[in-house]
Structure 1
Amino acid sequence: MLLAIDAGNTNVVFALVDDSRAIRGRWRIATDPRRTADEYAVWLVQLLALEGFERSDVTGVIVATVVPRALHNLQVLAQKYFGTDALIAGRAPVEWRMALDVDEPQSLGADRAVNTIAAHALHPGDLIVIDFGTATTFDVSDFQGAYKGGIIAPGINLSLDALVTAAAKLPRIAIEAPATPSVVGRNTVDQMHIGIYWGYIAMIEGLVARLKREVGRPVTVIATGGLATLFEQHTDAFDIIEPDLTIQGLAIMHDRAHMMP
């Protein structure tokens, strides 16, 4: 099976993917570039065993990372504990293999490229992919799979952290839908929930509407990331929820690399 690793700014996600691209196990750990391969192994091997898997079940490793300093130890993990060289998304033999129709193609984050590849492989037509992570990103690709650009906005957790840090009297609150649809808060906590939640919904809907107008053709909107389902219940901005889009993209890239002559 394939061990797909998505190393983001906040968490590193490890997923065990079988030959049919079904995810058999999924684990996450806080991103820390100082974490050694041995530390990863102690944690991961135990979790594999709890799900009934062994190290020998892992026959391949692929990594996408937006944290360059984390890469070396993940490569050592693959070599030392799984006996294989990790494929690195964006490098031979798993290059993007899609047109990057932007001013600075080299600056495109690995997670956004992998999401675009997965979205185009799974869904036809022009696409907008919204990924709710440390940042909230909106990525646009055309019906041929070319990456056209997008938007980077602060993630909702970052927004809340900035608000609470900068305003001494505001309490830390959970990120959740307000108890009522009213946008007139009667107390401080309710007002914060409204501002964070409905404010974020308004941003999503507003940016999606602007992107659709600019594309000028029918567009499918795909949401991914841990908070996608939180917003889904109160907006019709999303057409499809793909919670594991990045992992699916890594599996697709791994399969394509092994189909090359």
Structure 2
Amino acid sequence: MILLLDCGNSRLKWALAGPHGWMSQGNVSNQEIGTLALRDWQSLPRPSRVVGVNVAGEATRVRVEAQLVRWRTPPEWLIAQEEGCGVYNRYARPSQLGADRWASLVAARQRVANELFPASCVVVNAGTAVTVDALDETGVFRGGIILPGPSMMLQALAANTAALKVPPGHVHDFPINTADALASGVMQAVCGAIEQTRRRLAGDGPVPKGFLAGGAASDIAPYLTAPVEVVDNLVLEGVLALAEGSTRG
């Protein structure tokens, strides 16, 4: 059994993977990490390995490792590599690619690799920040962009403009009040970045499939051009693939 960890900027997701799939899974806010050993993980069997990614910084890593002490199983923290599980990392400095982005790319590649003609895809992690990464049909990560997530955009507007502190709005094609104008503008900004990346990756070919993960994924997906799939545990799927790949290697 492998305990998989995805330490994001706001939340920690985890899953216990056995020989036949997920045995247990959950998530907590980063403020609640200190409760894991006595609550979520109290009745879990001892994992043979703990493998994860962490983009939340050193303090979060230390807090997570404190919750693992009772199992005496030191965690393996993944970083992006030049190649792994059929994905080729073309970042200028491969190890500087966020580990969560790397794992998501691996998971997306695993999902398309079994097709008769593996297609290109765009991988989106939408949380505190939004990352939009292009993966071509041969498994080459071509590059990607980072922008503020929807909540961060709205918070920045509210904090820096006196007239835009309004209740939450709704997305419309042609908003006629300030709250809806803000909600619609933020959504169009995020979706525009995603769709432009898809068009650039497609060239003259069909629109690449979009894989979306993260807390805002289900909000964004309805406003994107098909095909789009929301995958709740995309990062954890990639962590598992990389963990199993390292064992086979």
Range of TM-score over shorter length:
0.7 to 0.9
Tell me if the contact between 1:212 and 1:219 (Cα under 8 Å) persists in the aligned partners: yes
Native 8 Å contact 1:232 1:238 kept in 2: no
Counterpart-to-counterpart distance in 1, 2:80 and 2:122: 25
Q: Which runs of 5+ in 2 are unaligned?
A: 114-118
Find the aligned partners of 1:42 and 1:199 in 2 and give their Cα distance: 37
- Deviation at residue 108 of structure 1 after TM alignment: 0.6
Q: After superposition, where does 1:87-98 map in structure 2 within 5 Å?
A: 87-90=76-79, 96=84, 98=87
Residue in structure 1 matched with residue 116 of structure 2 by the alignment: none
Residues 208 and 227 in structure 2, CA contact (< 8 A), matched pair in contact too: no
Structure 1 SS opposite 2:122: strand
Equivalence map 1:16-27=2 (5 Å): 16-22=16-22, 24-27=24-27
CA distance in 1, matches of 2:56, 2:143: 21
**Alpha-carbon spacing, 1:249–1:71, altered in 2? closer, same or farther (3 Å):** same
**Paired residues, what number?**
241
- TM-superposed CA distance for 1:223, in Å, is 1.4
- 2:209 corresponds to: 220
Post-superposition offset of 1:57: 4.2
Distance in 2 (CA, whole Å) between partners of 1:42 and 1:111 is 23
Partner of 1:45: 38
Letter aligned with residue 90 of structure 1 = I
- What is the SS of the residue equivalent to 1:123? helix
Deviation (angstroms), 1:43: 3.3
The correspondence for 1:155, drawn from 136, 146, 149, is 149
Identify the range of structure 1 (195-204 vs 116-125) with the bigger mean alpha-carbon deviation. Answer: 195-204
Identity %, equivalent residues: 22
Partner SS state of residue 201, structure 2: helix
Tell me by how many angstroms 1:257 deviates. 2.4
- Aligned equivalents of 1:30 and 1:74: distance in 2? 10
Write the letter of the residue equivalent to 1:155. Answer: G
- Residue 35 of structure 1 corresponds to none
Question: Which residue does the alignment assign to 1:208?
Answer: 198
Give the C-alpha shift of residue 41 in structure 1: 5.3
Secondary structure in structure 1 of the residue aligned to 2:39:
helix
Q: Are residue 239 (structure 1) and residue 232 (structure 2) matched?
A: no
Say if 1:258 and 1:18 are closer, same or farther in 2 by CA, change over 3 A.
Answer: same
Measured after TM superposition, the shift of residue 129 of structure 1 is: 0.5
Instruction: Give the SS at the match of 2:139.
Output: coil
Distance 1:189 1:210 in 2: 32
* Structure 1 unmatched ranges of 5 or more: 32-38
How far apart, CA to CA, are the structure 2 residues paired with 1:41 and 1:156? 28
**Aligned match of 1:255:** 244
Contact 1:18 1:24 in 2 (8 A): no
Q: TM-score, normalised by structure 2?
A: 0.83
Aligned to 1:12: 12
How many Å separate the matches in 2 of 1:218 and 1:200?
17
Question: Using the alignment, how far apart are the partners of 2:239 and 2:141 within structure 1?
Answer: 17
**More displaced 10-residue stretch of structure 1: 117-126 or 69-78:** 69-78
